[in-house]
Structure 1
């Protein structure tokens, strides 16, 4: 498997270095490079890309703003991001958009390769998970890593999936305490069938069959009351119109 990559940096020398590193890494493929985040966004809206090496401080549209746009888009085939920047104060914001890694300039090829390998492992695990679930009746259950074991989770029992630091909390019907799994909400979104689950907030995925009520812009599931955020309102309203009908 090769990861299709895009490099974005307004500094030509920095962009050239990242492009060079991508080209000399066997499991990466450079699809395009841009000195402007707006041009990069236009390209990303048209092409399927695995990985974006993204500078943060850029004019017109910053790397962080581009990352928020990418992260806010509905769907399961969004690219993942590795930030490349000379500033370390953006680490928390990078976490909020679920960046895979954060390369602090100037970085060596060794640093770059470690980040790229982390991305490759992410996509390899994702592919294995999809294959495993498709061959083991994914319409009924998934497996999640909980501490040092894989736990079988019935999809019909999943009420809410909640982002929690580097983990997710999976709230199950009939269980008082949620299951804590070391994965990201984005990975869960990609794993769960979109005809039964929907992301309605940066921090929440809901089981559509478990909705008890919708009150204005909030969804009620058991004891949970979750706000539908602006980025996900259109897709939720589309579902709701079909649900009411």
Structure 2
């Protein structure tokens, strides 16, 4: 996924720094840069697909805060967001009031910029996922999808849930093991977040580090199960869930 950006700052040195950071970030695309907040209105009109503004607050013609209140972003338009850049920390609260995604306090380095950019990537990934995989409803009832989208590096990957064998949670990542795939998919998310996306009648979390596809279980004991060549020992907190599964397994 590529996020289209514009950099706005009335100080040329600061503007060029932000522009260079954007160009060094694989999932960001610099559409334009300018030193005037008023010029932004024209640029946005000519480029309605711009999604992210790196916007200075104190500028001569129109402040970034005033511009944020004029343009569509945040609540009224969820596919356009702002990251403020400023040397004045007193604007932080006001920035969040106008729906800013983040707030970079000058002077900031590439590491600071990358953290804000990563927050933007996370936001737009979730937005795209909701847009391309809406919940289907028939006769007023929610219908479960047979696929999910996972963030893998800088793209969204569609995964057929019928192919999932089991899911292993690590510290900051999750490994998703698929049928007929030698290597798992590695995605930056939490096991809890992924658990909420999966159909509850097909997947169960039976250990703090594992979610199992119930129809892929090959063998069970009173406190463990085997799936795809591994043994998952059921944690104490999931004993009741496992007991319900055992009653319907045979």
Aligned residue in 2 for 1:28? 28
Equivalents in 1 of 2:138, 2:24: separation in Å? Answer: 37
Aligned to 2:100: 99
> In 1, Cα distance between the equivalents of 2:143 and 2:66?
34
TM-score (norm 2): 0.53
1:75 offset after TM fit, Å? 5.2
Contact 2:52 2:81 in 1 (8 A): yes
What does residue range 172-187 of structure 1 map to in structure 2 within 5 Å? Answer: none
Render the CA deviation track for 1:185-240: whole Å, top value 9, x for unaligned: xxxxxxxxxxxxxxxxxxxxxxxxxxxxxxxxxxxxxxxxxxxxxxxxxxxxxxxx
1:46 corresponding residue in structure 2? 46
1:1-245 matches, cutoff 5 A: 1-47=1-47, 48-71=49-72, 76=77, 79-133=80-134, 136-137=136-137, 150=196
Q: Per-residue displacement from partner, 1:86-134 (whole Å, max 9, x unpaired)?
A: 0000111111111000000000000000000100110001111222215
Q: Between Structure 1 and Structure 2, how many residues are aligned?
A: 148
| Structure 1 Cα separation of the partners of residues 103 and 5 of structure 2 | 16
Task: State the 4+ residue runs in structure 1 displaced beyond 6 angstroms.
Answer: none
Matches of 1:139 and 1:50, distance apart in 2 = 36
Q: CA RMSD in A?
A: 2.9
What stretches of structure 1 of length at least 5 have no aligned partner?
A: 152-245
C-alpha distance after superposition, 1:43-100 (max 9, x if no partner): 1123111100000000111000001112479953652000000000011111111100
Q: Helix, strand or coil for the counterpart of 1:106? A: coil
Taking structure 1 as the reference length, the TM-score comes to 0.54
What 5-or-longer segments of structure 2 have no aligned partner? 145-191, 198-250
> Is the Cα–Cα contact under 8 Å of residues 19 and 30 in structure 1 kept in the other structure?
yes
**Counterparts of 1:107 and 1:84, CA distance in 2:** 9
Q: Which has the larger radius of gyration?
A: 2
The answer to whether the 8 Å contact 1:70/1:79 transfers is no
- Does structure 2 retain, via aligned residues, the 8 Å contact 1:84–1:102? yes
Range 42-51 or range 111-120, more displaced: 42-51
Query: Distance between the aligned counterparts of 1:110 and 1:131, measured in 2?
Result: 31
Q: 1:52, 1:123 → 2: CA distance?
A: 13
CA gap 1:105/1:138 in 2 versus in 1, 3 angstroms? farther
In structure 2, the partner of 1:210 is none
Q: CA deviation at 1:41?
A: 1.5
